[in-house]
Chains A and B, each alone.
Chain A
């Protein structure tokens, strides 16, 4: 058995593409966030750098790169650097199992627009999401600052609490699809109705948990600036701070892609198979459809941020344990009963 260089090259190109895409989308999400905030608050938003302020993300990135880099003297140096790196790494890893489109046929070779179609796709996502807490915890602890530590403890308990409800809401979805592969789930929706029709409650729970997992308002307790002086990244400066902020936007992008794939048909769109266009064109249209769905979800993330105030911490925990988990269990029970009833 020899090393399959062609396979490695294909995957390498695909991985670079997905990575570049998520970075660019995350970059422009910062611009989008400020524009959405401006519209909601009746302001203009960034409009100096380039037309419509479109170069603003580049200016911000440049600023972050050139800022002085400070590592506090009393911090644990290695872990202090490891924290933001882990946050960034984990944020980028989830995108590996998302099907970005159907197959492309180039020179007789069929190329799948998914980095890894593994039959445990959803479990893989859980594994990666459950690792997301390390970056925040290590960074907060290594800073050797009580506010950072408080924020990272908040973040860890929040993420662990909402992971449970998220998992339970997905189990109900898996009962319907019967497959853990994201590609299969999307293909099923391509030939039938979108899963959100069958799982409205499950989708709602997943959405709320996604907000909590991404540390977004109304669940942005780990970075509550007026209680914690800024949150777990208080001691960070320069691009390390940038990594933490950036990881949040990548997480938003990936969870939007996930919600679109799981509940809203992913890269499929109505009437996809009756267009009569060449296979490659349909694939590209499908990718654009997925992208549109992702943008809608990203907008929802921003809209909520500038509309709803922050929860108090005990309210957050009560919502997670006393409302979300029982609701998810109920949803699971109902789905199981219906699946059993239809079989029998």
Chain B
């Protein structure tokens, strides 16, 4: 077994276990921590696919910014098992049935799908120089349009925040 295979297996195992931890843990803070761990393992997969820029941006944006805000909100609301509202029974059955249906559909869709294998390190598009050149030459219009979208989101946040005064 090569080094890459070992790393891949370890990363995948940790990713699956921590993803399970997100939904199985009773404490919301532990859930958030499990989610952060999942993001890290996914970033590890990106690195193995030679997409270093994506990996590090994934960590900065998700683990470094979004999850901090999540943690903030959860800590200040101080959620715990005692104040969690009781779920109705029919809601549980509905959840189980819809989840099961989704599983059946996913299995049916993926059963015959061909899985193209990407050789790790075969492509250099994920390296920061190549990615930047592609983004700012070939896809410059969509890139700029999406930046306007971000700007409008920021302006919206400021407007909502200012309403109180």
Q: Is B97 an interface residue (CB 8 A)?
A: no
Interface of A is mostly: helix
Pair B57/A123 contact, Cβ less than 8 Å:
yes
Closest to A178 in B: B129
Binds B, one of A58-66, A128-136, A240-248: A128-136
B75 and A130 form a contact (CB under 8 A) = no
Nearest to A1 among chain B residues (CB) is B2
CA distance A4 to B63 in the complex (A): 31
Give the complex CA separation of A118 and B51 in angstroms.
12
A179 nearest in chain B by CB position = B129
8 Å CB interface, A135-185 against B: 137-138, 141, 149, 153, 156, 160, 180
CB neighbours of B102 from chain A (8 A): none
- Alpha-carbon distance A1/B76, docked complex (angstroms): 50
Whether, in the assembled complex, A120 has its beta carbon less than 8 Å from a beta carbon of chain B, the answer is yes
Tell me the nearest residue of chain B to A127, going by C-beta. B59
Q: Which of A1-54 contact B (CB under 8 A)?
A: 1-4
Q: How many A-B Cβ pairs are below 8 Å? A: 67
- Verify A119–B128 contact, CB threshold 8 A: yes
In the bound complex, how far is the Cα of B64 from the Cα of A134, in angstroms? Answer: 9
Q: Mark A69-90, 1 if CB is under 8 A from B, else 0.
A: 0000000101100100000000
Q: How far is the CA of A123 from the CA of B132 in the complex (A)?
A: 14
Given A120-B128, A149-B75, A156-B68, answer yes or no on A127-B3 (Cβ-Cβ < 8 Å).
Answer: no
Contact flag A3-B3 (CB < 8 Å), given A131-B64, A180-B128: yes
In this assembly, does B139 line the interface, its C-beta being within 8 Å of a C-beta of chain A? no
Tell whether, in the assembled complex, residue B56 and residue A2 are in contact, meaning their CB atoms are under 8 Å apart: no
Q: CB distance A119 to B68 under 8 Å?
A: no
* Count of A interface residues, CB-CB < 8 Å: 27
Q: How far is the CB of B55 from chain A (nearest CB, A)?
A: 8
Given contacts A1-B2, A120-B128, A127-B60, contact A141 B75 (CB under 8 A): yes
Q: Is A299 located at the chain interface by the 8 A CB criterion?
A: no
Q: Does A118 contact B60, Cβ atoms closer than 8 Å?
A: no
A198 at the interface (CB under 8 A from B): no
Asked if B23 is at the interface (CB within 8 A of a chain A CB), the reply is no
Complex formed: what's the CA distance from A215 to B127 in Å? 34
Contacts of B2 in A (CB 8 A): 1-3
Is the C-beta of B89 less than 8 angstroms from some C-beta in chain A?
no
Q: Which of B67-89 contact A (CB under 8 A)?
A: 68, 71-72, 75-76
> Do residues A137 and B53 form an inter-chain contact, with CB atoms below 8 A?
no
Do B56 and A120 touch across chains, with their CB atoms under 8 A apart? yes
Most B Cβ at <10 Å: residue of A1, A2, A4, A127: A127
B65 close to A160 (CB less than 8 A): yes
Asked if B117 CB lies within 8 Å of chain A CBs, one says: no
Q: Shortest beta-carbon distance, A326 to chain B, in Å?
A: 15
Q: Are B3 and A123 in contact (CB under 8 A)?
A: no
B41 part of interface (Cβ distance < 8 Å): no
- B75 proximity list for chain A (CB < 8 A): 137, 141, 149, 153
Q: Which of B4, B30, B57 contacts A1 (CB 8 A)?
A: B4
16 of the cross-chain contacts (CB-CB < 8 Å) are A1-B3, A1-B4, A76-B27, A76-B29, A79-B29, A119-B127, A120-B128, A123-B57, A126-B64, A127-B56, A130-B63, A130-B64, A149-B75, A160-B65, A160-B68, A180-B128
Given contacts A130-B65, A137-B75, 8 further A-B contacts (CB under 8 A): A120-B52, A120-B53, A123-B60, A127-B56, A134-B36, A141-B29, A153-B75, A160-B68
